[in-house]
Amino acid sequence: MDIGIFSGSFNPIHIGHLALANYLCEYEGLDELWFVVSPHNPLKQESELMDDALRLRLVHLAVEGYPKFRACDVEFRLPRPSYTIHTLEKLKQEYPQHTFHLIIGSDNWTLFTRWYEWQRILDEFHLLLYPRPGYPVDEAGLPDSVRLVSSPLFEVSSTFIRRALAEGHDVRYFLHPRVYDELRTSMSNL
């Protein structure tokens, strides 16, 4: 099967993540998409992250009921900080029957050469690159292993969601209903 690997903090997972993932499954030939929750992204401050278990639980809630989505905690079992090449190697080792396609935004593509062992990722795996506002991509200059997808642009960010929730705004339509309910419950228990 062709499996999309959408790795990230999902801090929290929101409707933009889900809509993009849905598009990639329905229009870009992926059989499944696995949301790989990262305990700590080396390019982000750990203090910005919500609790690891909460973020994973929110992803489970968001993907429940759609057969092409799966929550994946493989990075919780790997040394920290987590590096994408290690995640992809582990998945390839555990699931040799699948072909994995790493999904990244064009904003991350501009930083890709800063990723640990980025050249090995390009040499050994497929990348699906989705557009992000303000980060155009020269499709003609992409390596053979990278494909630019024509997904709709989603301008929702987890930073916006966290800030809105902290300020008491009702952002229920930016989140899966079960994620919104869980976040409201979690925040009221703090």
DSSP 8-24: E--TT--HHHHHHHHHH
Instruction: Note the maximum CA span of the chain.
Output: 51
Residue 43 pLDDT? 57
CA distance 106 to 23: 16
Residue 149 pLDDT? 96
Task: Please give the torsion angle defined by the CA atoms of residues 158, 103, 41 and 70, in that order, rounded to the nearest 10 degrees.
Answer: 80
Residue 190 pLDDT? 45
Question: What's the pLDDT band for 21 if we cut at 50, 70, 90?
Answer: very high
Question: What's the pLDDT band for 82 if we cut at 50, 70, 90?
Answer: confident
Convert the pLDDT of each residue in 123-153 to its tens digit.
Answer: 999 999 999 989 999 999 999 999 999 998 8
CA distance 179 to 188: 14
Quick check: 69 pLDDT over 90?
yes
Quick check: 52 pLDDT over 70?
yes
Quick check: 42 pLDDT over 70?
no
Residue 91 pLDDT? 98
Can you name the CATH fold of 2-188?
Answer: Rossmann fold (3.40.50)
Assigned token pair, 132: 């992000």
